């Protein structure tokens, strides 16, 4: 896929390796919005609006370099898809189903908070809670609200989080201020995947599945294979009928798929949730 970064936009040339619907609706990000043919996505305090063109897509934004990284535009998906299909022929259909899906490089703090909220929850309600969170504590950018900075976030009380609809997760969100050193991307630096996971698990409210999502969507460790209720079903459907716990399934699938894990996981997850 070819692209050009301009002053106030990014031009995407080609449609097979970039599809905003599949990128945004696959459950890796929760602040996006669709209206009249335009997808709008927010990250941190930034916004991008995506229009389809005759040759590809145009991403309108005042932070083009940020979104170049956010969309991981340098990643070669043609190669990734070929490797996956060669190794797992059954993946051809899920990949076709989710053509143009890309794994994003999200803002680390936003990803941590978002996936802590995601536990035992559904995507629609996760979006709702995060939207209320931004409105409550994020900076007013005029046409939208930014995701709260850590400083803004830590000012909130447990009652505030409950009023957002966070429910029993409110106490985890309050406790986040006790883990400040674990909340910056820089802390993880060139850490090995297992060391990074071990550190993430120290955060109260972050278990194996949420840690895998943070590793994948916040730090781009592509060997992470998050296993939720949907992927558990996929495992018994496509991979094995041997009974395992979710962490065991994750370990097994990560070992089986190696550095293709994150991509395989997203293609399967998306294909599963759009059919249901």
Q: Give the footprint of DNA on this chain (CB under 7 A).
A: 26-28, 115, 118-126, 128, 162, 165, 167-168, 204-211, 213, 226-231, 245, 265-266, 269, 273
Six token digits for residue 236? 């018994």
Q: Which is closer to DNA, CB of 60 or CB of 127?
A: 127
Q: How far is the CB of 228 from DNA (least distance, A)?
A: 3
Nearer to DNA, 48 or 264 (CB): 264
In the DSSP assignment, the letter for residue 182 is: G
- 47 backbone dihedrals φ, ψ, rounded to 5°: -135, 145
- CA distance to 61, 66, 250, per residue, from 41 (Å): 10, 13, 29
Residue 204 Cβ vs DNA, minimum distance, rounded to whole Å: 5
Of 59 and 249, nearer to DNA (C-beta) is: 249
Question: Which tokens is 240 given?
Answer: 């094995």
Enumerate residues 6+ apart whose C-beta is below 8 A from 189: none
Sequence-distant (6+) residues with CB within 8 A of 230 are: 269, 272, 273, 276
User: Tokens standing for 123?
Assistant: 């995507």
SS (H, E, C) 196-227: HHHHHCCCCCCCHHHHHHHHHHCCCCCCCCCC
Our CB check for DNA shows the closer of 26 and 73 to be 26
Minimum distance, C-beta of residue 54 to DNA, in the bound complex (Å): 31
Beta bridge partners of 35: 38
Q: How far is the CB of 99 from DNA (least distance, A)?
A: 17
Q: Residue 83 Cβ, how far from DNA at the closest point, in Å? A: 20
Nearer to DNA (CB atom), residue 6 or residue 202: 202
In which residue are the tokens 């996956």 written?
84
Q: How far is the CB of 174 from DNA (least distance, A)?
A: 12
Would you say 49 or 119 has its CB closer to DNA? 119
């Amino acid at each position: 896929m070819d692209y050009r970064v301009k002053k106030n936009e990014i031009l995407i040339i080609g449609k097979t390796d970039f599809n905003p619907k599949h990128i945004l609706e696959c459950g890796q990000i929760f602040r996006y919005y669709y209206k009249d043919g335009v997808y709008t996505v927010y990250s941190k305090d930034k916004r991008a609006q995506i229009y389809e063109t005759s040759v590809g897509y145009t991403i309108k934004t005042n932070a083009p370099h940020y979104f170049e990284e956010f969309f991981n535009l340098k990643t070669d998906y043609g190669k990734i898809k070929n490797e996956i299909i060669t190794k797992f022929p059954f993946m051809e259909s899920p990949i076709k189903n989710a053509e143009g899906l890309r794994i994003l490089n999200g803002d680390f703090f936003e990803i941590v908070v978002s996936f802590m909220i995601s536990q035992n929850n559904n995507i629609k309600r996760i979006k709702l809670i995060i939207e209320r969170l931004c409105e409550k504590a994020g900076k007013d950018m005029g046409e939208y609200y930014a995701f709260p900075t850590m400083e803004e976030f830590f000012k909130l009380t447990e009652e505030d989080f409950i009023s957002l609809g966070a429910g029993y997760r409110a106490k985890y969100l309050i406790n986040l201020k006790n883990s400040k050193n674990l909340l910056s991307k820089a802390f993880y630096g060139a850490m090995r995947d297992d060391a990074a996971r071990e550190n993430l698990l120290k955060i109260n409210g972050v278990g194996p599945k949420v840690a895998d999502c943070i590793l994948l969507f916040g730090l781009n460790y592509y060997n992470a294979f998050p296993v939720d209720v949907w992927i558990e079903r996929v495992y018994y459907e496509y991979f094995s009928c041997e009974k395992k716990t979710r962490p065991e399934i994750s370990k097994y699938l990560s070992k089986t798929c190696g550095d293709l894990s994150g991509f395989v996981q997203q293609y399967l997850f998306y294909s599963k949730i759009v059919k249901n």
